[in-house]
Chain A
């Protein structure tokens, strides 16, 4: 089967959105090899510190490798600095990790979402060689990105409370992946507030 890019080999979608003193990050849970679905419990979003999540949509092998590299550096930072890495720094670190492989890159386009030490929301995304996108409203990445941009631009409004943010993020993600053959088969949504993290699994269509 022909595919346009190695980033479309496994498929997947990740979305992060800012609310009132909270952030949400969500991912679909399909793992496929081109058009064959292999498993339906493969979330691309991982908790890497108390209040920070990172998503790695793209080639599944690099999803796992980047996660391991990042976790190593996070732990080393904690030992060196005796404090947790803030989301803005996590984002910066990912940019350098990716650009180090400028001419033989990792095929992931990461999304970072978290609360800094003052519980102020932070989100960012980047391309596979580390070019950052810092946004105040939402960021997203993956094979359903065009559809997700349309949904987010339509449904987003600032200062959503955590329960409403969960609903908006869920609808944006689910409607988008229903139009993508390579994403879907369920979703996981994490909402991060000063009080803690609420994670929910969604049963999608297909």
Chain B
């Protein structure tokens, strides 16, 4: 997002952002912040960047809000048609990711979209596919994206492990996103997560005032008697 936002005109709405998705033992957790910025103006403080593209498969969106919403719309259309043909078998996560990749790769000249597709299917369980700008498709155990991701690459590399439980994975995703929000001006608001596993899908949110903070020891000091108001 950082490299190409210089190319987009001022006024285009961007999801300068932190997004991530992570596999655990039995499913995936997708996570994102909720800030949509238009230049420096925060156009939406409570945006939802995790979009359903088909049953049990979700898309994390970063880059241009318009481009990624269009991709999600087309992916949803094609995957619904595909699901009708498959019947009870259900759409695989890989198929969903491939459709998203086809749209991104075919239209790469015009697109400003970094996306992560993640979900659960009966055949392969929880899977995460990264579709960064340019239209590559990579299956990975975890992925981070958006302008805030640069601040947490090392953190997730060090702290992800295979075989986490659902709650451990959710806590890991929330911690990573909160760390990115702490440093990236384009990320902020609430932390949204979607957990997908055999049982179903669960959308949750950590409100803004409950997001973990790491700089409170570094608030300005006014001497021992000055009160701090929350």
Which A residues are closer than 8 A to B by beta carbons?
A: 1-2, 4, 8, 11, 29, 32, 34-37, 39-43, 143, 170, 178-182, 185-186, 188, 199-203, 205-206
Contact = CB atoms under 8 A, between A and B. Distances in A.
A179 B39 CA distance: 11
Contacts of B175: none
A97 B218 CA distance: 33
A166 to B, nearest CB: 9
B200 interface: no
Nearest to B215: A40
A28 to B, nearest CB: 11
Which of B185, B213, B218 gathers most chain A CB within 10 Å? B185
B80 interface: no
Interface stretch (B108-116, B121-129, B176-184): B176-184
Nearest to B41: A179
B147 A39 contact: no
Nearest to B5: A1
A82 B186 CA distance: 50
A32 B39 CA distance: 15
Contacts of A180: 40-42
Contacts of B188: 181, 205-206
Contacts of A170: 229
Interface stretch (B51-59, B69-77, B163-171, B220-228): B220-228
A70 B212 CA distance: 39
Nearest to A27: B220
Nearest to A177: B42
B219 A41 contact: yes
B192 to A, nearest CB: 16
A200 B40 contact: no
A34 B230 CA distance: 26
Nearest to B2: A1
Given A4-B10, A186-B220, A35 B41 contact: no
Majority DSSP secondary structure for residues of A touching B: loop
A180 B10 CA distance: 15
Contacts of A36: 183-185
B39 to A, nearest CB: 7
A201 B217 CA distance: 12
B174 to A, nearest CB: 15
Nearest to A167: B229
Given A29-B220, A188-B222, A203-B228, A178 B45 contact: yes
B125 to A, nearest CB: 36
B68 interface: no
B216 interface: yes
B22 to A, nearest CB: 23
A179 B220 CA distance: 22
Given A8-B40, A40-B215, A203-B229, A181 B186 contact: yes
B199 interface: no
A39 B2 CA distance: 21
B40 A181 contact: yes
A11 B181 CA distance: 17
B222 A203 contact: no
- Listed from nearest, the 10 A-B pairs whose CB atoms lie closest are A35-B185, A40-B215, A41-B220, A181-B185, A205-B208, A179-B42, A2-B6, A199-B222, A201-B228, A203-B230
A200 B42 contact: no
A201 B222 contact: yes
B39 A40 contact: no
B64 interface: no
A143 B41 CA distance: 9
B35 interface: yes
